[in-house]
Amino acid sequence: MTGELFSQIQLPAKLEYLGIFIASVKDAAEKYGFARTRISEIELAAEEILVNIFNYAYQNAETGCVQVITGTDGNRRFFIEISDTGIPFNMLQADPPDLTSDISLRKIGGLGVFLARELINDISYYREDNKNILKIRV
Amino acid sequence: MELAAKDQGGAVVVSVKGKVDTATAPEFGKYLSEQTDKAAKTLIVSMSGLDYISSAGLRVILAAAKKMKEKQLDFILAGLEGDVKNVFRIAGFLSLFKVADTEESALKQI
């Protein structure tokens, strides 16, 4: 049994396109039939990963593109594949955030990828054809 | 995203509704920072109408809380529900801040 492609878009890695990327992810998750809470969690994970790419992937060069593909794999499992052609970077290896329970000491930042990984267990990174590829499986 | 503020019982109550994502968080940050400057005693952020928040929004909340703490003033999060509450929980924010179920119960705490 082969998978099904739901959507495929490629746009510049800029915040102004976040809404379009997220809309494609939400539409795909709705098409798959996830419950509202799960769709919200998928949206959050996708936003955090995309924003991370917008901020870091092309910092040493002209801003490139991000490609977002959604669909199901051969086992009918939902996936989102987010790729960029920026510098090799595995955001999943970033330091865990500061979860200190003291307001004055707690650092601001590092939360995004942590939230994505807490909400979606199966997120993997690989580098292929000079691309950083993050695959979210739900 | 909809933002509003009012003075009530000696507290500044900021309500945020709709969606706080990376795109809208800067506006929320600017607004909350202005209200933090105005607060003389307590700042309550009412979130019962909030449908979505990402880490950019959490950073805004944390920055406001830090500012209030520096001024030795009270900061209370009110009306957290459902998916949004879950995000606050995962980020460890529920044990970081004073939390009230509703805006009314937050006002009773002050």
In chain B, domain spans: 2-105
8 A C-beta contact, residue A92 and residue A40 = no
Domain range for A47: 4-137
What residue in A sits closest to B62 (Cα-Cα)? A108
For position A65, what pLDDT does the model report?
A: 96
pLDDT, tens digit, for every residue of B65-79?
Answer: 999 999 999 999 999
pLDDT, tens digit, for every residue of A43-83?
Answer: 999 999 999 999 999 987 788 999 999 999 999 999 999 99
CATH number, position A13: 3.30.565.10
Query: B70 and A118: CB-CB below 8 Å?
Result: no
| Per-residue confidence band for A1, with pLDDT thresholds at 50, 70 and 90 | low
Residue A15: its chain B contacts at CB < 8 A? 22-23
| Domains of chain A: total | 1
For position A96, what pLDDT does the model report?
A: 79
Q: What is the mean pLDDT of residues A103-123?
A: 87
In CATH, what class is B2-105?
alpha beta
Measured CB to CB, residues of chain B less than 8 Å from chain A are 21-23, 52, 54-56, 58-59, 62-63, 65-66, 69-70, 82-83, 87, 90-92, 95-97
Query: A101 and B96: CB-CB below 8 Å?
Result: yes
